[in-house]
Amino acid sequence: MNMNYKNKIANVILGLILALSGCQKKVAEEESADLSLTAPSKKLYIATGQCNSGLGVTSFSTQNSSRRISKLDLATKNLSTFLDLTEAYVGGGFAINTGVQALVDNGSNILMLTENAVEMADRKIYSIPKSSPFNTEIYSTDPLALTQTAAHVTRDLAKDVDGTLLFSKSIGIEKIGTNNLRIPQGANPWVNAPAAPCATSITFMSSVKVLPPFTGSTNGKIVYTHAGATTALNRLGIINAEGYLIPSNCIAGVQISAIPHTYATNVTGPTPIVFNAVAGSSPTASVFIKTGNGPGVIGKLIVAYSAAVATETSNSVNLNYALVAWDVSETSLTVASLSAPVVLSRQLDAVFGISALAYDAETSSLYVATASQTGVMNQTTAGYGYKIEKFNYNLTTNEATLVREDDKPYLERTPGTKCITSMVLGNE
């Protein structure tokens, strides 16, 4: 066989290899493109009802709110209606005064806590299939937990790692087992009238979160915020994972106006930071961000501050509207603390009247629902919806940077966002 013939054969083989590899590459690229087109983007579920923007800010009643859950596609920013409480579902319909108070992502479902201070039997927890919201079902309607007393307003909902649920109402925190029934402390709620240092925290449990279980435990400690019309009532607390039965079950409690605050390095303001002398700042919402395992600092509790007085009081001296990051530490099953509060933002047009928070750990994005009319103490007069601001939160430097395009909020107010009570992220 001569050399020219061998070269021809080699060239043919090489051509076949290159052609085959090219086809494989093209197929792989097409498959990758198809996957990118079909892969679901993350969604932000937005609830509306009787929201809390601070005791000094008048917000909408359930009947005057949008009374719906919206779904925001974070890739396209397309906003659509997920569940409208003015319409029927497979189990029937919602009463006219029923609004959505809180949401929890539950895999293929969204859990929804409702509030109705008029037709109180419509205080319930529902399960909403993400793929078919019309097939909404009642998850729990335990009358001993979802009490039919006007003052027992439902507030926030959280899920523990074992599948049990905790929800706050004006007088305490209730626990719902995986059988959908109440788990009491004797005849009382799971957390009821805790003693010092958690006192006085029995009238307005504005938010509740569950920490990851400490080593050797199966449930997480309970972190809550409490709002009130005096400085002593504006507090944060941590309750033992076993609930509150005896005084020592209150692991930590702080009056927010009594703890020295500092500023993040990208925030300026006078020092020392002074809260309104009459009522301080009422915490309206919170979100826990895990940063490590105990013993030691395990994460940040981001807390929304709002005025507890009927006049706008955030200025160069006073601080009443802000995003604040607290260190959460654990050293044992029964020891934990809240410390070192840092003001992440006091930019009034971005943090005025915060009603809900959500955090995306994958993108380090903090979503903040706020009243849309900055400095207006009665948000119902004009009838506008609430807006959503977005911050990039750097856990390493403990800085939050406001993200805006053309100086506009991440999501501008809409008729469907009056007024935002809860936000939760979901993968579908």
Token digits of residue 85: 């409480």
What does the block give as tokens for 303? 């807390």
- pLDDT confidence of residue 337: 97
Establish if 384 belongs to a structural domain: yes
Domain coverage including residue 197: 38-426
pLDDT at residue 147 in the model: 96
Say if 16 falls within a structural domain.
no
Helix (H/G/I), strand (E/B), else coil: 128: strand
Task: Tell me if 8 is assigned to some domain.
Answer: no
Tell me, yes or no, whether 181 lies in a domain.
Answer: yes
Number of domains in the chain: 1
| CA pair distance 102, 284, nearest whole angstrom | 13
Structure confidence at residue 198 (pLDDT): 93
pLDDT per residue rounded down to tens, the chain (428 residues):
444 444 444 454 444 444 444 544 444 444 444 444 455 689 999 999 999 999 889 999 988 999 999 999 999 999 999 999 999 999 999 999 999 999 999 999 999 999 999 999 999 999 999 999 999 999 999 999 999 999 999 999 999 999 999 999 988 999 999 999 999 999 999 999 999 999 887 789 999 999 999 988 999 999 999 999 889 999 999 999 999 999 999 999 999 999 999 999 999 988 888 887 778 889 999 999 999 998 999 999 999 999 888 877 777 778 889 999 999 999 999 999 999 999 999 999 999 999 999 999 999 999 999 999 999 999 999 999 999 999 999 999 999 999 999 999 999 999 999 999 999 999 98
CATH no. for residue 289? 2.120.10.30
Q: Is residue 28 part of a domain?
A: no
Q: What residues have CB less than 8 Å from 12, skipping those under 6 apart?
A: none
In a domain, 9, yes or no: no
Is the N-terminal amide bond of 419 cis, ω within 30° of 0? yes
How much is the pLDDT for 315? 76
Predicted local distance difference test score (pLDDT) of residue 200: 80
Q: Which neighbouring-strand residues pair with 81?
A: 70
**In terms of DSSP bridges, do strands 99-106 and 79-84 run parallel, antiparallel, or are they unpaired?**
unpaired
For residue 197, tell me if it sits in a domain: yes
> Is there a domain that residue 281 lies in?
yes
Q: For residues 197 and 214, what is the distance between their CA atoms, to the nearest angstrom? A: 22
What are the helix (H) ranges across 53-118?
none
Distances (CA, A) of 371 to 162, 346, 412, 417: 35, 15, 11, 10
Q: In angstroms, what CA-CA distances link 65 with 9, 93, 99, 383, 423?
A: 77, 17, 8, 9, 15
